[in-house]
Amino acid sequence: MLVTGSLFPLFPGSIFASNYRQAMHWKKIDAQTVECNLCPNQCILQSGNKGVCKARQCIDGRLYSLVYGRIAAYHIDPIEKKPLYHFLPGNEALSVATAGCNFSCKFCQNWQLSQSHPEELESRYITPEQLVNQAKQNKTPVIAFTYNEPSVQYEYIYDTVQIAKKYNIACVIISNGYLNKNASQLLYPLLNAIKIDFKAYSQKFYSEICGGNLSPVLANIELAKKNNVWLELVNLVIPTLNDSPDDIKAMARFIKTHCGSTTPLHFTRFYPIYKLKNIPPTPVSTLEHARQIALAEGLKYVYIGNVPGHTANHTYCHNCGKPVIERSGFYTTTHIRKSGKCPYCNTAIPGIWNL
Amino acid sequence: MKHTRIFLYLSTFFIGISASIAQAIMIRELLTLFRGNELSIGIIMVLWFAGIAAGAAVSKKTTLHQSYIAYIILLHPVMLLLSIVMLYCIPLVYTTYGSFYSLEAELVIALLCLFPQCFVVGYIFPLLVSTVSALKIRYPGSIVFFLESSGACMGGIIFTFLFIQKFNPISTALILFIAASFIAFTHLQQRIKRVAIVTAIVLAAFIIVHSDALEKKLLTLSFAANHPGTLIEYRRTPYQMMFVAELDNTIALYGNSNLYAQFPDDYSVRPIIHALISTGSLLKNSNILISGDTAFLQYVFAYAGASIDYVTVDPVMWNMLQQQFHILYPDFSTEKIIVHYDDTRNYMKFAQKEYNAIIILPPPPDSILHNRLYTTEFFNDCKKHLSANGVCIIQIEGFANIMNTSLRRYVASVVNSFRQVFPSSLISSGDTIYCIGFNDNQKINVSNYLSEYINTFSKNPVAKTIQKFVPGFKPQEFQMYFQPSQLEYLDNQLKSENIINSDSLPKGYFEYLANSLQQSGSFAQDVISNPLYMIIILILTICLSFLYFKSRGSQHILFGIIIFITGFISMAAMLIAFIAYQNVYGVLYYKIALCNALFMSGLAIGSATTFMQKDFFLTRIILLVVALLMLFYFTISHNAILFYVSITLIAATTGSFIPLLLKKLPDDIQLLASTINASDHIGALCGALVTPFVLLPVFGMYSLWILLITGIILAYFRKMIC
């Protein structure tokens, strides 16, 4: 994608380049032009220009990350909020985000982060070491790169993950899966878990509603599984736009074939937000129908999300069908054994239950 | 001669009727298409005035035949009809599935639909004045202005009491066309023209008979192109256009295209149930007041033994909700639910009852009308109706993980106002923020409060009843709305904003609007968030107008300035008056025709006073100042009579200047009518621009003092024209 101009070419000179971390995954085209190879947008940037993600800029013929350590959102969330249901349930994750995203989803819940330029948001600089220390101090066993698309802070995650490993702190990303193969192959094996937003099994939806493409996402879902990273998938069901039973069926088939039948899939409820404010929330019956389709296709762990109190929030053993984790909002009651086995039939429940 | 005079008088009266009905229809239909807030109304009004001003400005000296007037009055309802059809077809061509039109798109659509018909209205006025003047009748300007204003007043009345209830917009436009045809028929003598008119009348009557089916087809198609689900029903109520759609076993209810309610949905109201039960409310024999587009809460609480007063403004809305609800939940009884068809604010002002809980769930403050339910004054009204240990619960749109400046300021303005009235309160965080205000002065510690709720829930006698109807209902779930790190973030953010949302300075509305515009990526956000831009637009408009009229001579300039000022004052004062009225009495939309009728009758009275020989220039200015003072006193005293008297008087005084000045240059009357009519509408245009974007956000109701000073400036021109 050729980016010819930037709305905010505020940092054109090399004077400011020292403030930023040089980016990974790019190549020089000429003295003043680079090609960013981090994500499939493949932005070609001349000096002063930013990529589609707004988080990477070409300065004097080199590509820099503008968001390295520039944390704009910082919370301690229950891991269930991500949602990761088979990964250290009942624990908390130190959750951080920066500005920028390589998508432009019309239903983005975090649009204030994802659609902002770094200089538009208040942020504080936290080094990878400091972040890991803060996770230790807060006794959060997990650091989650979340809210906006984490791959825009690729370099920061890459550095943090390696430090976190030394202290037995898990790192997870909550991603749209829109990353080039080289970049994901380098990062995914270092992570403990990935949640990928499987926005739809439809190229039309990706291009018209999200500003992206489906195939790289499919490739990354496969890649995550191949790298043995714990993977959960989320499909936000939006009335009419991506709730076709055929697409849901195809999505479930893809997951079963490429990731295995025990990969958790969450159908979450859409609420009117951002640019899609005039669509009603997804009827719960639509979500229940989607869940039935996915179960019928052979997936074992299919959840309904954003509907607190719904019985499909619980984890049921795929062998005996009894509830092994019960959830009420973010509150969990875990019956599962420390070994990760069902207390009723001793079947191993797939997931990461201890670090 | 007599025949021609009657034709001209009838034409003038008709164009008044036709223009006012067209305005009412276009506002209603455009608001159905747009999001329906003050910005949309602002765009409509600005383009309306711009169209009339442009039409009047180019209607200079012409030697047109009188038949031309007959064609113009035929043209106006035809243009109205075309605009209506265009409005129905635009969503088919320009689809914005799930989104509202951007402000820029609204501007273009409104321009296409309004400008041509308004241009005609503006164009015909100088022409009528000139033609009547040619008949050697005394005070032609006063006569034309009087007849046109009287026609507009009549149009408002007919529309409210007849057309709105009996005819759809297509039929209304065609009825106006038939009326215009009869007037034209009396004047056009040639046989072929008369045959053409009769044929057109027959054709119009045929379309009227089939217009309901045509309208239904068009609306069903445009709904399907922009919304999920199937349109089951649509209805025009006195307040809004209602759409009912079916979507996968649920019913979605839209008012003026805004999604109001969806059911069955026992999940989205669960936090409110938690909020109420957590306060220790026993429900049995308690009185609860609920306002908001929901049905589930009323039924659940009533089932648990509470007496429910439900306040809703639109009977049609509740009937639709209830009708569908009974199909879905046949077990629920309505015995303990009393429905009050009233504006919530108005109900609170005058109700005598005391409540154990007041639950207010209005739409977001995307208009000043809705913002009234988020202000300090309203929260005070709620508090007055609470029992000693009563609670007030509201919900506001919150944040996912961070807040930008406008969102922070919006949330702060509402939460600060709530806390000011309820110092003892519990504020949640997240996408939706729930505020629970306690009437007694207990000190709240969030974690203790939640623990107590969880520990005592099972002992609450209603727990089982609630769990029966709300599946999986557990008190632990309530914790998700009080996530510590999010609460800490919210607290830190609110500390930096010390603003209050009040009736007189509706900060919550302006900040909410700025945030909405940022979401839509509209360039208008910059214009709105910075009053300076609007002042620049105002200065540019004035300069361009000055340059256009400069060649007409100094007297035209002088008269133009005077009329610009009166046009500005009347528009700004009316907008402020409407907002002040709305703050107290609620939906003005319902009474807008009465207000318009009063305003138009004021104009007619004002023009009638100019039939006198003497000018009474100073008296008119004094009366205008008195009217503005009365209006200001209304904003404090809330005496409705003051409101009605003041708007009539403002119209009578400001409106009288047009015919008054038209008397001054009898030899140059068409050009003067052109200048004056254009200046009046340019003034009104500037008033419509500046009031909502500069005066109200900056000065609130105190803007009236600025108008008062502007009115006194008029006295400066006294000697120049007398």
Query: Distance, in angstroms, between B314 CA and closest chain A CA?
Result: 21
Check B99 against A278: CB less than 8 A apart: yes
Whether residues B328 and B432 share a domain: the answer is: yes
Q: Which chain B residues touch A272 with a CB distance below 8 Å?
A: 98, 259
Whether residues B56 and B25 share a domain: the answer is: yes
Query: Distance, in angstroms, between B646 CA and closest chain A CA?
Result: 39
Q: Which chain B residues touch A277 with a CB distance below 8 Å?
A: 98-100, 259, 519
**pLDDT, chain A, mean:** 93
How many domains does the structure of chain B reveal?
Answer: 4
Determine whether domain A70-313 maps to CATH 3.20.20.70.
Answer: yes
Check B247 against A329: CB less than 8 A apart: no
- pLDDT on residue B32: 84
Given a contact cutoff of 8 angstroms between Cβ atoms, the answer to whether B177 and B77 are in contact is yes
CATH code, B546: 1.20.1250
**Which residue from B248, B401, B478 is facing A283, i.e. has the nearest CB?**
B248
B520 lies in some domain: no
B519 lies in some domain: no
Q: Which chain B residues touch A241 with a CB distance below 8 Å?
A: 97-98, 228
Q: Of B238, B264, B290, which residue constitutes the final position of a domain?
A: B264
- pLDDT on residue B63: 64
By CA distance, what is A122's nearest residue in B?
A: B404
- pLDDT on residue B296: 75
Place of tokens 């209902």: B473
Check B98 against A279: CB less than 8 A apart: yes
Q: Which chain B residues touch A267 with a CB distance below 8 Å?
A: none
Check pLDDT > 50 for residue A99. Answer: yes
- pLDDT on residue B517: 84
Q: How confident is the model at residue B324 (pLDDT cuts 50, 70, 90)?
A: confident
Top pLDDT among B441 and B477 is at B477
Q: Which chain B residues touch A271 with a CB distance below 8 Å?
A: 431
- pLDDT on residue A7: 34
**Which residue from B471, B477, B520 is facing A331, i.e. has the nearest CB?**
B477
Taking the CA atoms of residue A257, residue A260, residue A266 and residue A272 in that order, the dihedral angle to the nearest 10 degrees is -30
By CA distance, what is B271's nearest residue in A?
A: A308
Check A278 against B229: CB less than 8 A apart: no
Range of B201's domain?
Answer: 1-226
**Distance between CA atoms of B480 and B92, rounded to whole angstroms?**
42
- pLDDT on residue B578: 84
Whether residues B56 and B7 share a domain: the answer is: yes
By CA distance, what is B474's nearest residue in A?
A: A328
Check B402 against A111: CB less than 8 A apart: no
What DSSP string describes B99-120?
SPPPHHHHHHHHHHHHHHHHHH
B524 lies in some domain: no
Range with the largest mean pLDDT of A25-34, B37-46, B272-281, B652-661: A25-34
Whether residues B252 and B347 share a domain: the answer is: no
Query: How do residues B345-368 score in pLDDT, each as one tens digit?
Result: 889 988 999 999 999 998 899 888
Check pLDDT > 50 for residue A12. Answer: no
Report the amino acid identity of residue B85: V
For an interface test with B, which of A82, A328, A333 has the most B Cβ atoms less than 10 Å from its Cβ?
A: A328
**Which residue from A106, A112, A280 is facing B228, i.e. has the nearest CB?**
A280
Domain edges within chain A: 2-65, 70-313
Given a contact cutoff of 8 angstroms between Cβ atoms, the answer to whether B425 and B509 are in contact is no
Whether residues B173 and B207 share a domain: the answer is: yes
If you average pLDDT over residues B674-702, what whole number do you get?
89
B589 lies in some domain: yes
Q: Please, what is the angle between helix B640-662 and helix B669-690, to 10°? A: 150
**Which residue from A73, A307, A329 is facing B402, i.e. has the nearest CB?**
A73
Count CB neighbours of B672 within 10 A. 26
Q: Which helix (H) or strand (E) holds B252?
A: strand B250-255
Classify residue B586 as left (phi > 0), alpha (psi -120 to 50) or beta. left
Q: How confident is the model at residue A180 (pLDDT cuts 50, 70, 90)?
A: very high
Check pLDDT > 90 for residue B326. Answer: no
For an interface test with B, which of A82, A112, A113 has the most B Cβ atoms less than 10 Å from its Cβ?
A: A112
Q: How far is CA A223 from the centre of its chain?
A: 14
For an interface test with A, which of B519, B522, B523, B525 has the most A Cβ atoms less than 10 Å from its Cβ?
A: B519
Q: Which of B259, B255, B237 is nearest to B316 (CA)?
A: B237
Whether residues B429 and B290 share a domain: the answer is: yes
By CA distance, what is A116's nearest residue in B?
A: B404
**Which residue from A75, A311, A313 is facing B401, i.e. has the nearest CB?**
A75
Whether residues B195 and B247 share a domain: the answer is: no
- pLDDT on residue B531: 79
Check A76 against B485: CB less than 8 A apart: yes
B518 lies in some domain: no
DSSP state, residue A276: B
Whether residues B84 and B156 share a domain: the answer is: yes
Q: Of B264, B287, B310, which residue constitutes the final position of a domain?
A: B264
Which of A235-239, A276-280, B179-183 has the weakest average pLDDT? A276-280
pTM beyond cutoff 0.80: yes
Tokens found for residue B274: 């938690």
By CA distance, what is A76's nearest residue in B?
A: B485
B478 lies in some domain: yes
User: If you count them, how many residues does chain B have?
Assistant: 722
Q: Of B264, B287, B320, which residue constitutes the final position of a domain?
A: B264
Query: Distance, in angstroms, between A321 CA and closest chain B CA?
Result: 18
Q: Which chain B residues touch A283 with a CB distance below 8 Å?
A: 247-250, 262, 265
Question: Per DSSP, which regions of B400-521 are E strands?
Answer: 425-427, 432-438
Whether residues B201 and B279 share a domain: the answer is: no
B397 lies in some domain: yes
B525 lies in some domain: no
Q: Which chain A residues touch B33 with a CB distance below 8 Å?
A: none
**Distance between CA atoms of A175 and A195, rounded to whole angstroms?**
6
Query: How do residues B472-491 score in pLDDT, each as one tens digit?
Result: 899 999 999 999 999 999 99
Q: Which chain A residues touch B477 with a CB distance below 8 Å?
A: 308-309, 328-329, 331
Whether residues B470 and B584 share a domain: the answer is: no
Check B97 against A274: CB less than 8 A apart: no
Helix, strand, or coil here: A94? strand
If you average pLDDT over residues A84-103, what whole number do you get?
97
Whether residues B313 and B222 share a domain: the answer is: no
Query: How do residues B209-243 score in pLDDT, each as one tens digit?
Result: 999 999 999 999 999 998 999 998 888 877 778 89
Which of A190-194, B7-11, B283-287 has the weakest average pLDDT? B283-287
Q: How far is CA B243 from the centre of its chain?
A: 19
